[in-house]
Structure 1
C-alpha cells in the first residue's frame, strides 16, 4: 500500500510523548507476539497483563487487542519536531490513528504511490 500517516501535534512535547508511547507498545507487542492475536479464537484475543498496564498508564482506552498487531508489523516511524510520520506497506493504520487522535494530533494519510513527494515538509 505504501501508506504514509502524518500526525501533527500542538506541541513538540506531545509528539515526544506519543513517540515514546508507541516505542513501548511496539516493544511489548513483540514480546506478546501480537502479530498472532487476530488469528486467535475470539475468547483468546486479550491484552497481556504488561500491555494492559502500559495502556492504562497512558490512558489509551480505544485500542483493542487486535489493534496491537499493527504495531508488530513492519513500519517505520520518524519524528521531526511536532510531527510524527509512519510509513508502512500495510493497509490498516487505525491503531496509530487512534493513538494520534487521542493525543490531539491533526492526522493526514496518503499513498506515497500517488503522492511520492514528502508531504510532511509541506504546508
Structure 2
C-alpha cells in the first residue's frame, strides 16, 4: 500500500487540450501516435517496469521501439506515466481534443507539438462546459 503525503491534489482539473492541425490526416496521425504510446506504457506497467508515481529509470527496448515508431524523441522518463492516466482523446476534424482531470499533460503536449500542432489548453471549470464552474 502506498501512502501519499502532500499538499493539495492534482485531480479535478477538468482540462481541455486542443491540438490544431493543418488537416484531418495530421490529426488522425497524432491520435495514432498517442494510442501507440499509451499501449507501450500499458505494456511497461504490465511487465512491472512502470508504476504510478514512480518514474521510469530507463527505457526498455519495447518502449524505445514504440518511441522510434512514432518518431517522438522528446519524452523523458517521468512523461511516460502520463499515458496511463484517464484521458479522453478524440479527433474533431483538423483538431485533436484531449480532456482529462489531470494537471500533468506535458507528454500529450510534446506529442502534439512534435506532430506540428498549434496547442491550446484551458480549464473547462472557467471556460467551456460550465461543469464544475463556480
TM-score (norm 2): 0.78
SS, match of residue 96 in structure 2: strand
Unaligned 5+ runs, structure 1? 119-123
SS, match of residue 51 in structure 2: helix
Return the offset for 1:101: 0.6
**1:71-82 maps to which residues of 2 (within 5 A)?**
71-82=83-94
**1:91-106 maps to which residues of 2 (within 5 A)?**
91-106=103-118
Return the offset for 1:10: 0.8
* Superposed CA RMSD: 1.9
Q: Which residue of 1 aligns with 2:6?
A: none
- Regions of 4+ moved over 4 Å: none
Q: Which residue of 2 aligns with 1:26?
A: 38
**1:30-69 maps to which residues of 2 (within 5 A)?**
30-33=42-45, 36=51, 38-39=53-54, 45-69=57-81
Return the offset for 1:88: 0.7
Q: Choose 1 or 2 for highest CA Rg.
A: 2
Q: Which residue of 2 aligns with 1:111?
A: 123
SS, match of residue 29 in structure 1: helix
Which has the larger helix fraction? 1
Unaligned 5+ runs, structure 2? 1-12
What is the aligned length?
Answer: 115
Native 8 Å contact 1:2 1:90 kept in 2: yes
Q: Which has the higher contact order (CA 8 A, sep 6+)?
A: 1
Return the offset for 1:11: 1.6
The 2-side partners of 1:91 and 1:35 are apart by 19
The 2-side partners of 1:72 and 1:61 are apart by 19
Native 8 Å contact 1:67 1:94 kept in 2: yes
